[in-house]
Structure 1
Amino acid sequence: MSQKPKIALIGNPNAGKSSLFNSLTGLRQKTGNFPGVTMDKLTGTWEIEPGQEVNILDLPGIYSIYPKSLDEELVINILGNPTNEDYPDMAIVVADASNLKRNLLLFSQVRDLGIPTVLALNMIDVAETEGYVINSIKLARELNVEVAEINAKKGIGINGLRLAVGKTLANRYASNDALPLPVDEQMLAGIQLKFGEADPYRSLLWLMEHDRMKMFSPDQRKAFDAIQDEFQFKSEEYKTSETVKRYEALSEVVERCVINLNRQWDAPPVKTWTDRLDSVFLHSIGGYLFFFLLLFVMFQAVFTWAAYPMDAIDAGVAYLNDWLKTVLPASALTGLLTDGLVAGIGGVLIFIPQIAFLFFFIAMLEETGYMSRVMFIMDKLMRRFGLNGKSVVPLISGVACAVPAIMSTRSIGSWKDRLITIMVTPLMSCSARLPIYTVLISLVVPEKSTLFGLFNLQGLALFGMYLLGFLMAIVSAWVMKQILQVKERSYFIMELPTYKAPRFKHMAISILNSVKAFVFEAGKIIVAISIVLWVLASYGPGDSMSQVDAQVRQANPTLSAAELSNRIASEKLENSYAGHFGHFIEPVIKPLGYDWKIGIALITSFAAREVFVGTMSTIYSLGGEVDDENATIKNRMRAEINPETGKPLYDVALGFSLLIFYAFAMQCMSTLATTYRETKSWKYPAIQFFYMTALAYLTAFITYQVLA
């Protein structure tokens, strides 16, 4: 077991802990300019002296050690339990220097728990811009701790922090044993007698938060309840009084250590760029208009800007496939390589440009600080539907992936709001749906510009699909709000950070990591299922496959060689194992306009929806009805004919039916597993799966019947 000292990074949300973590450890951990990025503990190593390393633990942001949400519970279960494997040898409390008094509340609580502590003053430049000058040397004497001034984003002040940490680790400064408010000494002695010696403040924390601390058994929790009853100790009253007392003491410290230049010069408060921008972005009408305009531009860009690299990748994969078939001998292995493996990889690579653009815009919102404004302006609207402003982050994050989005709901204090957010977040159109939307929209929506050539119709359709997902999410939330009827009031309290220029290097790393996650996580599923599907589509029960060749040749003696080859390939696909599966479910999906080939894609994509495109690519590579061997997936699907009408199969009715089905269907095992993890019950993933699947089927049925 490692003997390296453990150092915990602790601080308010958006104080800069994750940026400092990256600067110290060099790890490419995601950071963002909005509260609540870190939702789980993260670890790395930092070399504080040559040959001497320490373990760094980045904990979720909290405002105090009295938790209101699950991520805050995680922190007190570590800081309040010396036997926890992650209990730190010391703490670095990262404080936003422009909001010093509020940040010092958490610092004073951590110090009083008996943990050796260093105070890292971050964003000194922002404080000075707002007219505040901090005397950090005097502040260190007042608080009796080492204080370091840093700029976490730029890595400035790390050497000073290194010295402060080294001194604190060597000296193990004692904590302040005085309690903020007096309590009955017999009660305190009773806690320590029953539960072990601890700093007085930690003993009080156990008493007040024992129901949230996993270290205690049910019997021990009952013992704490008995102590509270015996001494008539009111936890909530003590917390409130203690917070007020701490702020009174900290106000005096700040008064002595911070110079307010605005007040000194009798100058009016500085009108910052943040104030000017907020007058627009937080406007009761203009704020909403700007946000929806931003989303509109974002999805236009995702569809139009990415078209050129996507076309290049598409053509490159088709050329590679054709070249391999030319240079390799005709065999089952060549078919597996070209129609299975290469087709599957092509189905992954082609969508990298769109996913990169999507993550670019999301990273920009986080980096600049605008994401917090979205949460603020949307809170009033969200509450009408059973959500709150903090639900916006999971919903917007769900545009990238539902898994981390659902995990980010831990910052929502209300169980009802959190549960509803978890249940509706998968309705947001994630990056896995983007490949499906791209293919289907290109089939049924004309590629032309409108409104003086500014907007592309296909881009408008893509924006409409994302807007549809959001609207269905809030409607579903409203329905769940009526069903749950929980009498629990929730509050929306958050800090609006200052606007900051985006760090394009960090954005590039974030985009790269997101694309890699798609390629290697979703990609390996797509490729694996493509190979399995090739096997199922190339072989069939009995000798049915071997007889197809002779039967087709005998029934169609006048067909050309190319037409005959295509007809044989189609008949073999229909008689394969995959074809039998598709025919088996065809009666169920026929009312939606789907045939047995689409049925195969539906079956495979219930594991992960992005498999749809890879499946269709494999199916139409094997059963192709087009003469051009280089034809890509869109061309092959466009050439598919409906045998009943003799017209193209993928018409407007079928295309929009499929779009609607994939917009609402729950087709992601990882999301269901995450819902189970976050709710600790299989009931909610089951409800999530069945209500979303039923919603998808019903709306797709209505869409097809109306448009057909």
Structure 2
Amino acid sequence: MKRLKVALIGNPNAGKSSLFNYLTGLNQKIGNFPGVTVDKKTGVSTLSAAVQADIIDLPGTYSIYPRSLDEQVVFDYLIEALRNEAPDILVVVIDASNFKRNLLLFTQVKDLGFPVILALNMLDLAQKDGLDFDLVALQKELNVPIVEINARTGKGIDSLKAALVCPVHVAPDIFYKSAEVAQPVVAYIRNRFKIKSDYMALLLAHQHKKTKILTEEEKKDISDLVEKHHLQSNSLQYRETLARYESIHTIIHKVMSEDARQGKVRWSNNVDRIVTHKIWGYLIFLGILFLIFQSIFAWSEMPMQWIDSGFGALKGFISSLLPEGYLRDFVNEGILSGLQGVLIFIPQITFLFAFIAILEESGYMTRVMFMMDKIMRPFGLSGRSVVPLISGVACAVPAIMATRSIETWKERLITIMVTPLMSCSARIPVFTVLIGLMIPDTTVLGIFNLQGIALMGFYLLGFAMALLSAWFLHKWMGGKFKTYFIMEFPTYKLPRFKNVSTSIIEKVKTFTFEAGKVILAISIVLWVLATFGPKEAMLHAEQSVPMDTIHIEAYQNKVASAKLEASYAGHFGKFIEPVIKPLGYDWKIGIALITSFAAREVFVGTMATIYSVGNSDDELSVRESMKNQVDQNGDPFYTAARAGSLLLFYLFAMQCMSTIAIVYRETKGWKWPIIQFFYMSFLAYSSSLLFYQFFK
């Protein structure tokens, strides 16, 4: 089959990602653009019986001239056509209800000389606002194929696929005559780099220092040329923007009409008066958060029980199938117990990802950014920091990458430093187990789950600590700077089930397989360390337990506990126990603390493995196993003080190697990751110490 390379480009909120999901379905993958950590979504779409296309979803951008790292990626991708294979077709997605502003990017892309198709999206919303387009006249004015689509419903997708298969005429420099404003510079660069488009040559003159495509020698060559001809880039870019808008005004008068309905206020503006109100807006947001955390505990209980029962039945089947010995113990205790400890929380994580996807799809998340801007300012942050912080509730890694849209380095660095304090989905298994040990499973006013309220409280505590830490960093770093938060509200939309489900499937799959690999490996290593130990120590442990021929099961459990303490894992736990004992932890928890530095959720898998070693009941869940633990006096080991101390430790501690790695990449050095690790460890240790000592 013939293979095309198609890139989707457009303003943020123009519907580009929805179109990408429709074109590719689940046949897509997430990676990184070469040399940067900005997400790169690619997928395959079958356009016809003879043609397939590799679809690339570029980050949203308002202009070719980059102001953020996301926009820099778009610029580099387009300029890269100089050295590498250029995209066969660029699809520019335009929001018809914001036609004038969206058209600026289109005119820039068109003048670069690429084959372009314009996908006119959200025409139904534009018509509700009284905007009406003459598409025949518009196609004639823009000199490109125009396809009317609705990226939410899938309308026009087949027409777009048909247009992608057909040849596209290229007519460069029809909106802005680049050669007329900088003829010597443009002519030299075109000849030097064999460029077909005058505007591409002018872009290189403006942005040559920022692009990664050119060598240092080539950059110096262009710099000398620009200096020789006194090219004023800022002034020229300003004049170019004005000239393009003059062309856009002319086009709009020819192809677009407005009727009397244009004077009416769109219904979404009336909704915004409520959801962004200085009082009601925050109450509505807190209500939504409350609903999310209630669902995590209440709605997920039944599927969690199914998974728990399934693992219990599987362990029972393995026990009946394999003879008693190391192999059976290895499968049940080393593999299945570790996996059970994490996979049981998939329903809760699914609900979390579902709510986040719905909030983003509906357009509400942008309103949250607007509301939070005033709150964030005194702490050295802004509304742009809200997206990374809220994204941190899912995972800190993409959240930290999302800080690339923040323009000032100080504001971006502070956001990076405090984002891991937002409780990510990997903490849900830990929180669920410990809250279950600390808070009774009861309802308030007959409908509100007390454990769900506690979970929301811990998330809000993490957010409060993130703001407090940001304030300290803001004062410590010093420097005066002022930024302006300007953004566009997308229209409210009903979330599409396909987009939401695709997002959930991708994120849950990533969590399951990424966490599963780490947990499986650590569970196996832990089982070996917890099963074997120095020969003399293991023999002494077995002999130290008095024989009890009446209570055989209790005797076997005591022997298993003594052997675990004498094992290699036990020795390691005993070694670090003096440091963690003031927090209320024993050597078993110490093992879990160390192993979970690979990933927070490993804590549950570690506890499941440790407490399952030698346990005669294969059907016990990790929560039940921990609940059954007793101290030397026979009292429950996991008291409210001890469980709360552990909760605070996992709320504040930096226990994720992936997060440390991404902070290193984003800050280009070890200074800030090291500072971040130590200040978060100090927060975790000191808060856990104070809590346990006060409440024990």
TM over 0.5: yes
After superposition, the C-alpha distances for 1:389-434 in whole angstroms (9 at most, x for unaligned) are 1221111111111122122222222222222222211111111100
TM-score, with length taken from structure 2 = 0.94
Q: Which residue of 2 aligns with 1:34?
A: none
Shift of 1:268: 6.1
| Mapped partners of 1:181, 1:196: distance in 2 | 15
More displaced, 147-156 or 485-494? 485-494
**Contact 2:462–2:651 (CA under 8 A) maintained in structure 1:** yes
**Contact 1:181–1:242 (CA under 8 A) maintained in structure 2:** no
Aligned-partner residue type, residue 57 of structure 1? I
Q: Is 2:326 the counterpart of 1:332?
A: yes
Aligned-partner residue type, residue 9 of structure 2? I
Q: Which residue of 1 aligns with 2:19?
A: 20
Name the CA shift for 1:371/1:39 in 2 (closer, same or farther; >3 Å). Answer: farther
Q: Is 2:613 the counterpart of 1:622?
A: yes
1:516 pairs, out of 505, 509, 515, with 509
After superposition, the C-alpha distances for 1:108-167 in whole angstroms (9 at most, x for unaligned) are 001111212121111111111111111111011111222111112222223332444344
Aligned-partner residue type, residue 666 of structure 1? M
Aligned-partner residue type, residue 263 of structure 2? P
After superposition, the C-alpha distances for 1:352-391 in whole angstroms (9 at most, x for unaligned) are 1111111121121112111111111111212221222122
Q: Is 2:109 the counterpart of 1:118?
A: no
Q: Which residue of 2 aligns with 1:82?
A: 81
| Mapped partners of 2:42, 2:515: distance in 1 | 26
Q: Which residue of 2 aligns with 1:360?
A: 354
**Contact 1:116–1:175 (CA under 8 A) maintained in structure 2:** no
| Secondary structure of the structure 1 residue equivalent to 2:3 | coil
Q: Which residue of 1 aligns with 2:281?
A: 287
Q: Which residue of 2 aligns with 1:494?
A: 487
| Mapped partners of 2:505, 2:636: distance in 1 | 39
2:451 pairs, out of 458, 466, 475, with 458
| Mapped partners of 2:319, 2:435: distance in 1 | 30
| Mapped partners of 2:167, 2:500: distance in 1 | 35
Q: Is 2:423 the counterpart of 1:429?
A: yes
After superposition, the C-alpha distances for 1:294-327 in whole angstroms (9 at most, x for unaligned) are 1122112211221222233323423432443344
More displaced, 525-534 or 318-327? 318-327
| Mapped partners of 2:88, 2:508: distance in 1 | 37
| Secondary structure of the structure 2 residue equivalent to 1:44 | strand
More displaced, 377-386 or 464-473? 377-386
| Mapped partners of 1:483, 1:181: distance in 2 | 49
| Mapped partners of 2:145, 2:97: distance in 1 | 19
| Secondary structure of the structure 1 residue equivalent to 2:454 | helix
Q: Is 2:625 the counterpart of 1:639?
A: no
Q: Which residue of 2 aligns with 1:269?
A: 263
More displaced, 347-356 or 652-661? 347-356
Name the CA shift for 1:222/1:137 in 2 (closer, same or farther; >3 Å). Answer: same
Shift of 1:673: 1.9
**Contact 1:78–1:84 (CA under 8 A) maintained in structure 2:** no
| Mapped partners of 1:322, 1:660: distance in 2 | 36
1:419 pairs, out of 409, 413, 431, with 413
1:601 pairs, out of 592, 609, 625, with 592
Name the CA shift for 1:182/1:490 in 2 (closer, same or farther; >3 Å). Answer: farther
After superposition, the C-alpha distances for 1:460-492 in whole angstroms (9 at most, x for unaligned) are 110111111111112112222222234444332
TM-score, with length taken from structure 1 = 0.92
Q: Which residue of 2 aligns with 1:699?
A: 687
Q: Which residue of 1 aligns with 2:534?
A: 541
| Mapped partners of 2:581, 2:3: distance in 1 | 63
Q: Which residue of 1 aligns with 2:373?
A: 379
| Mapped partners of 1:528, 1:440: distance in 2 | 24
Shift of 1:579: 0.3
Name the CA shift for 1:538/1:389 in 2 (closer, same or farther; >3 Å). Answer: same
Name the CA shift for 1:456/1:55 in 2 (closer, same or farther; >3 Å). Answer: closer
**Contact 2:185–2:202 (CA under 8 A) maintained in structure 1:** no
Shift of 1:243: 1.0
Counting only pairs closer than 5 Å after superposition, residues 465-504 of structure 1 correspond to structure 2 as 465-504=458-497
Q: Which residue of 2 aligns with 1:527?
A: 520
Shift of 1:639: 2.2
Aligned-partner residue type, residue 72 of structure 2? E
Give the total of aligned pairs: 690
Identity value in percent:
52
| Mapped partners of 1:153, 1:130: distance in 2 | 18
Q: Is 2:648 the counterpart of 1:670?
A: no
| Secondary structure of the structure 2 residue equivalent to 1:42 | strand
Shift of 1:174: 4.2
Shift of 1:683: 2.7
Q: Which residue of 2 aligns with 1:302?
A: 296
| Mapped partners of 1:628, 1:22: distance in 2 | 46
Q: Which residue of 1 aligns with 2:435?
A: 441
Q: Which residue of 2 aligns with 1:35?
A: none
Name the CA shift for 1:284/1:168 in 2 (closer, same or farther; >3 Å). Answer: farther
**Contact 2:3–2:54 (CA under 8 A) maintained in structure 1:** yes
Gaps of 5+ in 2: 31-36
Aligned-partner residue type, residue 696 of structure 1? A
Name the CA shift for 1:499/1:691 in 2 (closer, same or farther; >3 Å). Answer: same
| Mapped partners of 1:283, 1:88: distance in 2 | 45
CA RMSD in angstroms, aligned pairs only: 2.3
**Contact 2:345–2:429 (CA under 8 A) maintained in structure 1:** yes
| Mapped partners of 2:526, 2:668: distance in 1 | 34
Gaps of 5+ in 1: 32-37
1:576 pairs, out of 557, 567, 578, with 567
Q: Which residue of 2 aligns with 1:369?
A: 363
| Mapped partners of 1:232, 1:133: distance in 2 | 45
Q: Which runs of 4+ in 1 moved over 6 A?
A: none
Aligned-partner residue type, residue 498 of structure 1? T
**Contact 1:118–1:168 (CA under 8 A) maintained in structure 2:** no
Name the CA shift for 1:159/1:313 in 2 (closer, same or farther; >3 Å). Answer: closer
Aligned-partner residue type, residue 653 of structure 1? A
| Secondary structure of the structure 2 residue equivalent to 1:384 | helix
Q: Is 2:135 the counterpart of 1:142?
A: no
